Structure 1
């Protein structure tokens, strides 16, 4: 057994002993009854959105050797005791978020209510847990944290569950506000050398699934345990710990109020009025973006850090959607980038299943995913292009003119003997920083993989 695994198991035992001393342990079946008291009964058929349900994923032995990794199941109140024993207890891989959904799929667009806001702290040992104890439940101040309802041992870290007194209805704008609140509190909670042994903060979606209580961490063969550490919380209580006022959730602002009447909107925004009001197309408008943006993102793979590798792949799919890159090409690029990312050092190995998961974000709902979101998820700083208000075509024409002045008659290509591909690519990029890998490859008559290699 490697020293790393020994250390993880030592941390687990020490953390379990401390939590048992301070708080009562809660079995998984009861844990989810407490979390989702309003799940439907078997056979109920709601005609509206009043009865959303929790949905969980579980590994089925019947799928061994097939491409199917996890099955999806609705958590129903009257069958939960039997279902828990059959699908969750002792299972090596189960996942469940703190949300309840309408319909059969646990996608963010189907999320109807938030029963619990959940945070993930990786690599927690005795010292980190004691530091966490010194911060939770204190009045809002620098680095203090709200008292969680449950602390769950995930195997190598902790999941902190803040269960709301009543489920928060997830209108579209409330989802955005909840995301901002979670990012804010994640930054407050995650401190290297204080509350975690991991250097990189990991921001997660409000829809993130977590290992279920009563299942087993398959990587270390450690049971996932829950401890009741506090009462249910209110949104006001959680808001009080946000560092930025703009990151607080205002349930009285479920929709973005408009400043214009329909008559004014028709005059000011005729294209929008025709598309949305007249034709009834309320989908977010997709911008016409060139593939340069996608190619640029691929070049950032060397900046991906251990805990953010999956999110780099996920954002590959988002940029592919924005730039209208075919899914087949995206998949090929992902497998190529995967070989590079899996070499980045981290406690949790990157697996090919992560590619399949990341490909699920190849969907039009991500057209308007913001730079701010991508920076948070990937921890890769992004500076907006500065072209001094020139269009890209004009900007490139200017760059080529400067190139011709500095290197007349194409002398930038000249050298002693035949220059190496590395030198060719690097010199070309220096002179043409805005050119895409495809344009560079064509200009130099080299392959795109060669361009990526030296970028």
Structure 2
């Protein structure tokens, strides 16, 4: 009841200052270049929004949400039939190739969206003081295009003047930017009543404007409080290392197939000969069966209220990593749900969250990183150690052994001075990123980029060679 009262407080404040936008106009504003029915642009010049909705005939059944493309000429009728008043609809800020809303099929980002739970009148007033304030001040945020009152809080929309093309490396940079801005946006007792920050992927779907929130029975309503934004504007509020460099798009390799077959025979066999286009899956199952998956199941007792859904989502991701059959996963997921729904939080956990988590049972999540899982779930995951030692200490021991076993291992290798200096720095700083090497050595970006990957590989090979020495 408290959160529902907060919802009405937010609506009252927004109505007094800004114009409300209907759900139909809202999505037409964000996705102005959707295809028309019957037309097919083979050059992918018109990627489409894809949304999920619950069909009335599926209520009470185990069927997941249905997908539908948002087509320009049918959107008005589709909105009334499938979205308006629906108790379960989801749409992200991305547009996709084809009919699937998977991250690997995402072609453009039309809007960057943030979810901020636990917002009442006090928190909204603080947000208004921070939105659009100079970027140099602590915890300020860019002025959003829309604020959507969701029931439990706000959805904050930044709609781009020009949609961002999602090259593979740009997707990674946008994820880092979103994490950075999420930290700035979410502050306990200032902008949210919740202690735990909730980080989300750029592909996250959000309840749609005009639909109803089944948890509270309210309608999601949108208000335009700013204009469309540029990526440069958002970058200005993030740390330099977390900004998106759109001028450095993805550049495919110019290596010929013959050269690739010679240099990367395993990759060539898998991708070219066997036509397995997805990333190579980590060989977790071959090493330890379901052990990693079962270990994550046991972490359920550590889950805090605001991270229950993400724990279930990551359970599905671990099932993908370990080749756990979907039937077993579903049984375990329902058991976890029964445990997590008693974790104290103002938002009740529902079966809809279970079905949404199951959407991530997809090969695209095989290589989801430990760092991302930690961000989403707020559960610390201890990294592997080398013979009981952490990486930095282990590298020190390995260098000492190498100097004893082969003291002249670096002599006569003909390395130019720049490469030698970069090698030395990376040897002393095994976790250094490219930007760290540039700053630490003073060499130019092209010079560091020229040698970085080769030196990193050499260091790992050195580590592997010395790790097997007796007495270590």
Query: If the length of structure 2 is used for normalisation, what is the TM-score?
Result: 0.76
Secondary structure in 1 aligned to 2:381?
A: coil
CA 1:331/1:173 → structure 2, altered by over 3 Å: closer, same or farther? same
Q: Of 63, 86, 89, which residue of structure 2 is paired with 1:68?
A: 63
**Residue pair 2:64, 2:355 contacting (<8 A) in 1 also:** no
Count how many residue pairs are aligned between Structure 1 and Structure 2: 384
| CA drift at 1:255 | 2.0
**1:427-446 → structure 2 map (5 Å cutoff):** none
Distance 2:368 2:188 in 1: 28
Which residue of the partner structure matches residue 336 of structure 2?
337
CA 1:171/1:313 → structure 2, altered by over 3 Å: closer, same or farther? same
Which residue of the partner structure matches residue 79 of structure 2?
84
**1:7-18 → structure 2 map (5 Å cutoff):** 7-18=2-13
**1:387-426 → structure 2 map (5 Å cutoff):** 387-388=386-387
Answering whether residue 159 of structure 2 is matched by residue 160 of structure 1, we say: no
Answering whether residue 227 of structure 2 is matched by residue 231 of structure 1, we say: yes
CA 1:26/1:359 → structure 2, altered by over 3 Å: closer, same or farther? closer
Which residue of the partner structure matches residue 131 of structure 1?
126
Secondary structure in 2 aligned to 1:117?
A: strand
Distance 1:81 1:259 in 2: 45
Secondary structure in 1 aligned to 2:159?
A: strand
**Residue pair 1:177, 1:248 contacting (<8 A) in 2 also:** yes
Q: Of 36, 42, 47, which residue of structure 2 is paired with 1:41?
A: 36
| CA drift at 1:165 | 0.3
CA 1:332/1:81 → structure 2, altered by over 3 Å: closer, same or farther? closer
Which residue of the partner structure matches residue 180 of structure 1?
176
Which residue of the partner structure matches residue 89 of structure 2?
94
Answering whether residue 384 of structure 2 is matched by residue 385 of structure 1, we say: yes
Deviation string 1:42-95 (CA, Å, 9 cap, x unpaired) is 221222311111122223333333333533222121222222222222222222
**Residue pair 1:287, 1:322 contacting (<8 A) in 2 also:** yes
| CA drift at 1:278 | 5.8
**Residue pair 2:270, 2:276 contacting (<8 A) in 1 also:** yes
| CA drift at 1:246 | 2.7
Which residue of the partner structure matches residue 218 of structure 1?
214
Deviation string 1:384-436 (CA, Å, 9 cap, x unpaired) is 0214279xxxxxxxxxxxxxxxxxxxxxxxxxxxxxxxxxxxxxxxxxxxxxx
Secondary structure in 1 aligned to 2:74?
A: helix
Which residue of the partner structure matches residue 319 of structure 1?
318
Deviation string 1:291-315 (CA, Å, 9 cap, x unpaired) is 3222221221111111211211221
Which residue of the partner structure matches residue 20 of structure 2?
25
**Residue pair 1:173, 1:256 contacting (<8 A) in 2 also:** no
Answering whether residue 358 of structure 2 is matched by residue 364 of structure 1, we say: no
Which residue of the partner structure matches residue 295 of structure 2?
296
CA 1:273/1:121 → structure 2, altered by over 3 Å: closer, same or farther? same
Answering whether residue 203 of structure 2 is matched by residue 204 of structure 1, we say: no
Distance 1:92 1:355 in 2: 16
Distance 2:253 2:383 in 1: 28
**Residue pair 1:275, 1:281 contacting (<8 A) in 2 also:** yes
Distance 1:342 1:264 in 2: 55
Answering whether residue 350 of structure 2 is matched by residue 351 of structure 1, we say: yes
Which residue of the partner structure matches residue 444 of structure 1?
none
Which range moved further: 125-134 or 285-294?
Answer: 285-294
Secondary structure in 2 aligned to 1:163?
A: strand
CA 1:365/1:87 → structure 2, altered by over 3 Å: closer, same or farther? closer
Distance 1:190 1:67 in 2: 35
Which range moved further: 101-110 or 326-335?
Answer: 326-335
Unpaired segments of 5 or more residues in structure 1? 391-455
CA 1:37/1:339 → structure 2, altered by over 3 Å: closer, same or farther? same
Distance 1:82 1:328 in 2: 37
**Residue pair 2:112, 2:158 contacting (<8 A) in 1 also:** yes
Distance 1:22 1:355 in 2: 38
Unpaired segments of 5 or more residues in structure 2? 390-472
Q: Of 269, 281, 287, which residue of structure 1 is paired with 2:282?
A: 287
Answering whether residue 116 of structure 2 is matched by residue 121 of structure 1, we say: yes
Secondary structure in 1 aligned to 2:11?
A: helix
| CA drift at 1:226 | 1.0
Distance 2:358 2:281 in 1: 19
Secondary structure in 2 aligned to 1:175?
A: helix
CA 1:64/1:242 → structure 2, altered by over 3 Å: closer, same or farther? same
CA 1:278/1:214 → structure 2, altered by over 3 Å: closer, same or farther? closer
Secondary structure in 1 aligned to 2:312?
A: helix
CA 1:214/1:354 → structure 2, altered by over 3 Å: closer, same or farther? closer
Distance 1:259 1:52 in 2: 27
